[in-house]
Chains A and B, each alone.
Chain A
Amino acid sequence: MLGAAIIVFREVIEAGLIAGIVLAATEGVQGRTAYVIGGIAAGVFGASLLAVFAGSLSDAFEGMGQEVFSASILAFAVVMLTWHNVWMAQHGRELTAELKAAGHAVATGSKTLLALAAVVGIAVLREGAEVVLFLYGNMIASNSSWWEVLAGGLIGLAGGVAVSFIVFIGLVLIPIHRLFAVTSFLIAFLAAGMASQCVHYLDQADILNVLSTTLWDTSSILPKDSIAGRVLATLIGYDDKPSVMQAIAYLATLTVIFGAMRVFAPAKPQPKPPVAMGSRVAAE
Chain B
Amino acid sequence: MGMKRVPAFLLLPALIALSTASYADEPVAIDLTLKDHKFEPAEIRAPAGKAIAITLKNEDDAIEEFDSNSLRTEKIVTKGGTVTIRLKPLAAGRYPFQGEFHAKTAQGVLIVE
- Chain A interface residues toward B at CB < 8 A: 7, 54-55, 58, 63, 66, 130, 133-134, 136-138, 140-141, 200, 204, 206, 212, 219, 223-225, 240-241
Residues of B within 8 A of A223 (CB): 69
Are A134 and B101 neighbours in the complex by a CB distance under 8 Å? Answer: yes
Bound Cα distance from A225 to B67, whole angstroms = 10
Interface size (B, Cβ < 8 Å)? 19
Q: Is A133 touching B76 in the complex (CB atoms < 8 A)?
A: yes
Task: Across the interface, name the chain B residue whose C-beta is closest to A70.
Answer: B74
Query: In the assembled complex, which residues on chain A have CB atoms less than 8 Å from the CB atom of B69?
Result: 219, 223-225, 240
Q: What residues on B are CB-neighbors of A136 within 8 Å? A: 63
Please, how many angstroms separate the alpha-carbon atoms of A130 and B81 in the complex?
17
- Within 8 Å of chain A (Cβ to Cβ): is B50? no
Q: Contact at A137–B83, with CB atoms within 8 Å?
A: no
Collect the chain A residues with CB atoms within 8 Å of residue B100's CB. 7, 130, 134
What is the CA–CA distance of A141 and B72 in the complex, to the nearest angstrom? 28
Total contacts A-B at CB 8 Å: 47
Residues of B within 8 A of A (CB): 62-65, 69-70, 72-73, 75-78, 81, 83-84, 86, 88, 100-101
Q: In the complex, which residues of chain A have a beta carbon less than 8 angstroms from the beta carbon of B77?
A: 58
The answer to whether A58 and B81 touch (CB under 8 A), given A138-B101, A204-B73, A212-B88, is: yes
User: For residue B62, which residues in chain A have a CB less than 8 angstroms away from its CB?
Assistant: 137, 140-141
A136 to B73, CA, bound (A): 22
Using Cβ atoms and an 8 Å threshold, which residues of chain B touch A224?
69
Identify 9 new A-B residue pairs, CB closer than 8 A, beyond the known A63-B83, A130-B100, A241-B72.
Answer: A54-B76, A54-B78, A58-B83, A130-B76, A141-B62, A204-B73, A219-B70, A225-B69, A240-B69
B101:A58 contact, CB within 8 angstroms? no
Query: For residue A204, which residues in chain B have a CB less than 8 angstroms away from its CB?
Result: 72-73, 86
Given contacts A130-B65, A223-B69, contact A206 B86 (CB under 8 A): yes
> Taking the nearest CB of chain B, how far is it from the CB of A148, in angstroms?
15
Residue of A with least CB distance to B78: A55
CA distance A138 to B88 in the complex (A): 32
- B101 proximity list for chain A (CB < 8 A): 133-134, 137-138
Q: How far, in angstroms, from A7 to B100 measured CA to CA in the complex?
A: 9
Q: List 27 interface pairs A-B (beta carbons < 8 Å), by A numbering.
A: A7-B100, A54-B63, A54-B76, A54-B78, A55-B78, A58-B76, A58-B78, A58-B83, A66-B75, A130-B100, A133-B65, A133-B76, A134-B100, A136-B63, A137-B62, A137-B63, A137-B101, A140-B62, A141-B62, A204-B72, A204-B73, A212-B88, A219-B69, A219-B70, A223-B69, A224-B69, A241-B72
